[in-house]
Chain A
Amino acid sequence: MERLSDWAFIVGHLNYWMFIILMMTGLYIVVARGNLVKKIVGLNIFQTSVFMLYISIGKVTGGTAPIYPVDMQGNLQVDPSIVYSNPLPHVLILTAIVVGIATTSLALALIIRIREVYETIEEDDILKIERELSAKDYKEHGPAMGGRA
């Protein structure tokens, strides 16, 4: 634990902790808020924080964006003295952003369907309706099916 009093260690890990704080804010919205649209917004916050964590892993001190300069003839200029950040996390996160919007749109479509059937998008109300439905089912069919499942 003596590392925790090391200034370089704290500065070097501050970025991870910052993004974990953001992630946890997103997770809190998902867990503590009952509105389905708000849950999706919380999930998006969580997701974006994970992206930021990933990108910060690829950052190299003194580096620049991984794009080679091009001269007038269109030839790439490779200068070994220029430091570039790691492009691999960027590529992975580009893919993740697009997959993220795909899942978000699917979730939003599900919310619209839920609203069509239950007339509400609040988790508490949906659970109440579900409980009433299953109680009614049990009253009608429960004894014939051999008691509560």
Chain B
Amino acid sequence: MVATVITVILFTMLVLTALAIVRIYSLFAVVMLSGVFSLLSALLFVALDAVDVAFTEAAVGAGISTVLMLGTIALTARTQKKATRSGFVPFVVVAVTGVALVYGTLDMPNFGDPTAPASMHVAPEYMTGSVKDIDVANVVTSILASYRGYDTLGETAVVFTAGIGVLVLLSGLGRRRREDEEEDA
């Protein structure tokens, strides 16, 4: 019961943060609110027993991505222009998508159901096998690094590719800017 109340309170704060992001025009405030959103979601992850996810989200979502976005708005623009289009058509699109998604949840098992399909197949095997095969206290660690190690390998490949992409996109940014200034002068 207490857990449900905590979840609902956190959800209310998340929705208020998201609505503030919709309305505010200052990009600095938007970036800070997105950090707040990530921290609140990290709290929600703790309430849902996912402590590893919580501290990754707090470090990556609230930390690194906020820094990256601050860097971006420092290099681009500080404010958003006033919206010229009406928000009606996007609202209808979003409402229809939302109703479709809610319809999709009607067949899903109840929240916290121990017999849910997600908890029935490999998960118990991982829980018991983790003690015998790997002998690591944290089951998330043993799945991440051992049972599903290839996932993590693929993840590092994606991060490596993204890093190369960022380097290629941004290389020579300062040099081109200086050349432009010399041409202007």
Contacts and interface: CB of A to CB of B under 8 A. Distances in A.
Interface residues of A, number: 90
Contact of B27 (A28, A37, A59, A103): A37
A101 B64 contact: yes
Interface string A66-78: 1111100000101
A4 B127 CA distance: 35
A90 B45 CA distance: 10
Contact of B123 (A8, A86, A108): A86
A51 B69 contact: no
A35 B140 contact: no
Q: Tell me the interface secondary structure of chain A in the complex.
A: helix
B113 A61 contact: yes
B50 A65 contact: yes
Contacts, number: 291
Interface in B63-122: 64-65, 68-69, 71-73, 75-77, 80-81, 83-85, 87, 90-91, 93-95, 97-98, 101-102, 105-106, 108-114, 116, 118-119, 122
A93 B27 CA distance: 28
A87 B143 contact: yes
A116 B169 CA distance: 11
A88 to B, nearest CB: 5
B69 A21 contact: no
Interface string B121-159: 011001100110001011110011000100110010011
Contact of B80 (A9, A13, A38, A66): A38
Interface string B22-64: 1000010011001001100100110011111100110011001
Contacts of B49: 58-60, 63-66, 85
B2 interface: no
A52 B45 contact: yes
A87 B137 CA distance: 12
B162 A102 contact: yes
Residue from A11, A31, A87, A125 with most neighbouring chain B CB atoms (10 Å): A87
9 contacts: A11-B111, A20-B105, A44-B37, A44-B61, A51-B53, A58-B48, A91-B140, A98-B56, A111-B76
Interface of A: 3, 8-9, 11-18, 20-29, 31-35, 37-38, 40-42, 44-45, 48, 51-52, 55-70, 76, 78, 83-95, 97-106, 108-113, 115-116, 120-122, 124-125
